């Protein structure tokens, strides 16, 4: 029996089918029965938060704790439908914190949406070659680690590779900030609409900027 292993679940939270939700819930229940300390964002993050800042901080704090306790992330990745921003941000955080990855399931792998940079990273971490995307990840991570500020440009629509990298890059910056609170994260160029009534990552970055200024 696994005892007190910290496991963070990377999985889609919104726009999941009933079948996908059941697979995710069944895996979460299996982990709980095995005695692990589980963080499932659907259940354990404050999803009603207005901006998303408290959601991201709760997730980041658990991931940092898991990194210090030799924990891991279990990944259930949705390659189809509307791409999950949160999964990509979480992937970047976990990579920056050098957490162990375990790929549990891939939904819609035969009908992918977009370039699927995140899935390529996961596959390469799992030993698949060539390792082109992983080297780009290490390059991005090194740049952030050796900077005083990470400026994150943001397109509100994730339509291509650069928009997917923006989400991953934010995750890398958040992971670095967890180890180095002096790292400043700021919002660069914002493209597209960011409705005031919806939680979003640009709002999260602005909250981080405010916290740094205090």
Written as tens digits, the pLDDT of the chain (214 aa) is 444 699 999 999 888 899 999 999 999 999 999 999 999 998 999 988 999 999 999 999 999 999 999 999 999 999 999 899 999 999 999 999 999 999 999 999 999 999 999 999 999 998 877 778 999 999 999 999 999 999 999 999 998 999 999 999 999 999 999 999 999 999 999 999 999 999 999 999 999 999 876 5
Please give the structure tokens belonging to residue 96: 């920056």
Q: Are 122 and 77 in contact (CB under 8 A)?
A: yes
For the full predicted model, state whether its pTM sits above 0.75.
yes
Domain boundaries, the chain: 6-213
Please tell me what DSSP assigns to residue 15: S
Q: Transcribe 170-210 into DSSP letters.
A: HHHHHHHHHH-TT-EEEEEEEES---TTS--HHHHHHHHHH
Closest to 177 measured CA to CA, from 153, 204, 148 = 148
């Amino acid at each position: 029996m696994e005892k007190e292993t910290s496991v963070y679940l990377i999985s889609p939270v919104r726009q999941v089918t009933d079948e996908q939700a059941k697979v995710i819930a069944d895996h979460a229940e299996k982990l709980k029965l095995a005695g692990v300390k589980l963080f499932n964002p659907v259940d354990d993050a404050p999803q009603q938060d207005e901006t998303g800042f408290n959601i991201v901080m709760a997730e980041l704090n658990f991931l940092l704790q898991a990194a210090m306790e030799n924990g891991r992330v279990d990944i259930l990745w949705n390659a189809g439908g509307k791409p999950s921003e949160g999964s990509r941000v979480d992937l970047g955080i976990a990579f920056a914190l050098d957490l162990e990855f375990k790929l549990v399931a891939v939904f819609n792998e035969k009908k992918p949406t977009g370039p699927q940079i995140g899935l390529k990273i996961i596959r390469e971490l799992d030993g698949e070659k060539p390792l082109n995307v992983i080297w780009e990840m290490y390059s991005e991570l090194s740049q952030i680690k050796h900077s005083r500020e990470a400026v994150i440009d943001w397109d509100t629509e994730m339509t291509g590779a650069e928009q997917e990298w923006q989400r991953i890059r934010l995750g890398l910056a958040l992971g670095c900030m967890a180890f180095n609170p002096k790292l400043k994260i700021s919002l660069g160029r914002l493209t597209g609409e960011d409705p005031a009534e919806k939680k979003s990552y640009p709002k999260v970055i602005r909250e981080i900027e405010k916290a740094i200024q205090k």
